[in-house]
Amino acid sequence: MKYHFIAIGGIGMSGLAKYLLEKGFEVSGSDISDSKYINKLRDLGAKIYIGHDENNVPTGDCKVVVSTAIRANNPELLKAKELGHKIYHRSDILAELAHDNKFFIGFSGTHGKTTTSGLASYVLEKAGYEPSFVVGGIIPEIHTNAQFKNGKYFTAELDESDGTILKYRPNVVAVNNLDIDHVDFYKNGIDDLVNTFNTFIGQLKPDSVVLINTDDEGVRKLKRTENMKTYGFSNADYTVKNVEMNKDYSEFEVMYKEKSFGKFKIQLHGKHNVCNALAVIAALNEGGVDIDKIREYFYGFTGMGRRFEKVAEFDGITVFDDYAHHPTEIKSTLAAMRSVTDNNVIAVFQPHRYTRLQRFWDEFKKSFGDADRIIVTDIYSASEDSIEGITSENFIKGFDNAEYLSGSMEDVAKKLLPTLKAGDIVIGLGAGTITELGKNLKKYNGEKVGH
């Protein structure tokens, strides 16, 4: 069986392709440009085409894999249909792999699923369980977003953005939170999202375990079922106590009802990451993992790529990169930053999608309370058409500490750099090209020093 991926270079698609290559399948794919993910796939034997062209599609027996982003007029998709190939959404392939004689542990919810699935995969790998996994980010210490191994466990994040979570049947699943985000799909807001998760939970096997975070208002709307267990900071089956948070680490004791699992230490910052770690501990315990065997490895996890990731340091200035592109995520990230520093925090926000900025305009405005200075860049459209009045210039109105910097991320870095001073902490926030901010600041600082 051959697999051909249309737009193979994304974090989700490349992870699936890597997994299939490691299982021994023949994989090809195309994308509009090269990337570090594509180079790794080439090294594993994938045949890669740059640019979409109908001639890229293999003949013979082949599964063609697409994501929700692939448009109906894509030439490779049209050719695949002409050849009679069956078209699979990437979620179909993930479901197929996850249910392939493995004990499937899934992590879901609007926020935190990449961190929780990555942390679970990391500690299982370090403890020698040889897990298979596909997650939505690079695990820094393992340097990959996916792997196939012969161990019992398969861990993955389960995306709710387009309803495809209904395709999965995990043995254990943690629901971190439910917060309306993808308004293009969930047109009736939180009610649609809760209904989707109720359907998902109702489809699971009777012996599955559903872990729900009862600290979250959205999760509390779910119908309770017999296979549910709870986690949270209080009044739950799995709880934490004796929490200590400082600039270097967070430490806490985990309780399961009256039983103590002892203390855990993590490098991740913020109350939300203590809850993320608790979700992982609960899920792995429900999956039969020896908690004492994995305890020491929690501290070694430095976080997923693009999640509170330090990307540059120069002249006493520190630059972080974070994928936060929703008001809840931005508020949590900045609160975590403020909890570990009294220094000047400069939030550089690249709004992601016109529809998201429009829908959460007021919520975004309220999410920057822990920033000393706010920089707003041009909106990253993600192929959306612009919406009248939804602009970065209009967004900064009403702030007394915000400014708009236009242009590419190189332009933003050039304009921002001269205003920075030693001790400043810059944090880029968004899901688009904002990830290039750190390297551009470092680059232009180097040129400045060189001159």
Half-sphere CA count of 419, side-chain side, radius 13 A: 14
The CA–CA distances, whole Å, from 126 to 119, 154, 187, 262 equal 11, 15, 42, 19
Give 418's contacts (C-beta < 8 A, 6+ positions apart).
Answer: none
Task: Copy the structure tokens of residue 34.
Answer: 């090269």
Match 């192929």 to its residue by tokens.
Answer: 383
C-alpha to C-alpha distance for 42 and 40, rounded to whole angstroms: 5
The CA–CA distances, whole Å, from 298 to 195, 213, 261, 264 equal 34, 20, 14, 7
How much is the pLDDT for 284? 98
Match 């991926």 to its residue by tokens.
Answer: 5
Q: What is the mean pLDDT of each run of 10 residues along the chain (451 residues)?
A: 94 95 97 90 97 96 92 96 96 93 95 95 98 93 94 96 94 96 85 97 97 97 97 96 91 96 94 96 98 97 85 95 93 91 96 94 97 98 93 97 97 97 97 94 79 41
Task: Select from 3.40.50.1820, 3.20.20.70, 3.90.190.20, 3.90.79.10 the CATH code of 309-450.
Answer: 3.90.190.20
Name the residue ranges covered by the structural domains of the chain.
2-88, 99-297, 309-450
- Three-class DSSP category at 181: coil
CATH class in words for 99-297: alpha beta
C-alpha to C-alpha distance for 122 and 283, rounded to whole angstroms: 14
Check if the beta carbon of residue 221 is closer than 8 Å to that of residue 196. Answer: no
Match 């236009």 to its residue by tokens.
Answer: 406
C-alpha to C-alpha distance for 46 and 21, rounded to whole angstroms: 7
Task: Copy the structure tokens of residue 317.
Answer: 């200035």
C-alpha to C-alpha distance for 241 and 243, rounded to whole angstroms: 5
Question: 301-334: buried (b, 16+ CB within 10 Å) or exposed (e) per residue?
Answer: bbbbbbbbbebbebeebbbbbbbbbbbbbbbbbb
The CA–CA distances, whole Å, from 157 to 77, 119, 148, 168, 202 equal 26, 11, 15, 11, 19
C-alpha to C-alpha distance for 32 and 368, rounded to whole angstroms: 35
What CATH superfamily is the domain 2-88?
NAD(P)-binding Rossmann-like Domain (3.40.50.720)
- Please write the tens of the pLDDT for every residue from 304-315: 877 888 999 999
Match 């996994």 to its residue by tokens.
Answer: 133
Query: Dihedral of the CA atoms 59, 65, 69, 71 (nearest 10)?
Result: 30
Q: Which residues pair with 134 in a beta bridge?
A: 146, 156
Give 64's contacts (C-beta < 8 A, 6+ positions apart).
Answer: 3, 4, 5, 6, 57, 76, 77, 80, 85, 86, 87, 88
- CATH fold match for the domains 99-297 and 309-450: no
**153: nearest Cα among 177, 176, 175, 123:** 123
Residue 100 DSSP one-character state: S
Is beta strand 132-139 parallel, antiparallel or unpaired with respect to 153-157?
parallel
Task: Copy the structure tokens of residue 23.
Answer: 């299982």
Edge-first strand order for the sheet with 132-139 is: 144-147, 132-139, 153-157, 103-108, 172-175, 209-213, 228-231, 238-245, 250-256, 259-266
How much is the pLDDT for 451? 41
- Three-class DSSP category at 155: strand
How much is the pLDDT for 69? 82
How much is the pLDDT for 448? 66
Give 437's contacts (C-beta < 8 A, 6+ positions apart).
Answer: 319, 321, 348, 409, 412, 413, 426, 428
Long-range contacts formed by 383-390: CB under 8 A, 24+ apart: 383/69, 384/353, 384/354, 384/355, 385/354, 386/354, 387/354, 387/355, 387/358, 390/354, 390/357, 390/358, 390/361
Question: Is the full-model pTM beyond 0.75?
Answer: yes
